[in-house]
Amino acid sequence: MSTASPIDHALIDRAQAGDKAALSQLVSLFEDQREAAIAQRAEVLAQLSARPKRQPARMIGFTGTPGSGKSSLLACIALELLRTQPELTFAILAIDPSSHVSGGSLLGDRTRMRVPPSERRVFIRSQASATELGGLGPWSFQVCRLLSHCVDCVFVETVGIGQSEADIRHLADRVYLVLQPLAGDEVQFLKAGIMEIPSAFVLNKCDDPSAERSYHHLRGSLGLARPWDADSIPIYRCSARSGAGIAELTQGVMHDIAQHGGAELVSKEPYFFERWVRDEWGRVGTRVLDAALGGASAYLERSHGFEAAQATFGGHVREQLQSQDPTRSQHTR
């Protein structure tokens, strides 16, 4: 979309009513890296917030090791939801890694998600992780804030996680960790702290002969990793290939969606604002935010919103740098 055109009300209406071209255009605005887009985003969100209140969408994260079959599973869940939940609308945000050499990416999740093109209840969008390491892209949070107003549920499929910290827990109300049988020794998971994140486990490819053993390994290691809820945490056994267990998993997901009252995304803004500051302004920015502005929560509150805080933050950084040393006014980007 063009740079500084005013936001068209009709576009927002259409997006909320399930028009894919309109919603898609708005998503692009929320991924737009130009300065001018910040104000436009603020306007879109202001308009959306002024509309009759609808429940904010539930945010459900799907994460797991590369190759565990996250996309195929989500595709199965999507089809099952379409079949059984005529009223439900949802979006899938699928994030894949970018090349560190070229900056480009290959987003192949759509090959596994085949939904009838005329289906208006589901919206699928691929995103590149750019240089982020935590499994989400730099714009994932912003896009979720938009989608939150337009659908009942947002599924976020992260980049396959390994050792890095999982950002998804700061974004999603519920996180499903997808594992495949014999996905390496469980010590790896304990070490990485990954086992502590999810609210449920999915053991995919359960038609594999080794699946039974893996299930018991997983149960066993949960006792060590999170003794407080090891017995009550669900482990779904399914197979995206044969369809086994998909109905149960989908019921579990539906249960999560139906349980409203999850924290609204506004409560998650400080974390992602800090992250944005780190991306855009580096360590200098983080120092300014913490030392001069009293931390992300306080600054966001004073600024009246995420976009407003983004728009004014650069000024603070420049101010600080100049007051410290007028000869060194570079910022790290």
CA distance 47 to 160: 35
Pick the binder of other proteins from 51, 54, 114, 283 (CB under 8 A): 114
Q: Considering the complex, what minimum distance in angstroms separates the CB of residue 317 from other proteins? A: 21
Whether 282 contacts 333, CB under 8 Å: yes
Site string for other proteins, 28-47 (x = CB under 8 A): xx-xxxx--x----------
Pick the binder of other proteins from 63, 65, 126, 140 (CB under 8 A): 126
Give phi and psi for 171, each to the nearest 5. Answer: -105, -40
Comparison of 103 and 295: residue with beta carbon closer to other proteins? 103
5 touches other proteins by CB under 8 A: no
208 touches other proteins by CB under 8 A: no
Question: Which DSSP category does 176 fall into?
Answer: E
102 touches other proteins by CB under 8 A: yes
Half-sphere exposure for 144 (CA within 13 Å, toward CB)? 30
CA distance 239 to 246: 7
Comparison of 25 and 188: residue with beta carbon closer to other proteins? 25
Tell me whether strands 174-179 and 200-203 are parallel, antiparallel or unpaired: parallel
In sequence order, what DSSP letters do the residues of 217-238 get, joined into one string? HHHHHHHHH-TTTTTTS-EEE-
Q: Considering the complex, what minimum distance in angstroms separates the CB of residue 267 from other proteins? A: 28
Q: Kindly state the tokens that stand for 129.
A: 């992780």
Whether 137 contacts 95, CB under 8 Å: yes
Q: Considering the complex, what minimum distance in angstroms separates the CB of residue 106 from other proteins? A: 5
Binding segment for other proteins among 116-124, 167-175, 280-288, 308-316 (CB under 8 A)?
116-124
What number of other Cβ atoms are within 10 A of residue 118's Cβ? Answer: 5
By CB under 8 A, the count of residues binding other proteins is 36
Angle at 131 between CA 127 and CA 137, to 5 degrees: 35
CA distance 77 to 86: 14
Pick the binder of other proteins from 6, 86, 117, 227 (CB under 8 A): 117
Binding segment for other proteins among 22-30, 52-60, 298-306, 322-330 (CB under 8 A)?
22-30
Pick the binder of other proteins from 18, 20, 43, 244 (CB under 8 A): 20
Residue ranges that bind other proteins, judged by CB under 8 A = 1, 3, 20-21, 24-25, 27-29, 31-34, 37, 98-99, 102-108, 110-112, 114, 117-118, 123-126, 128, 241, 243
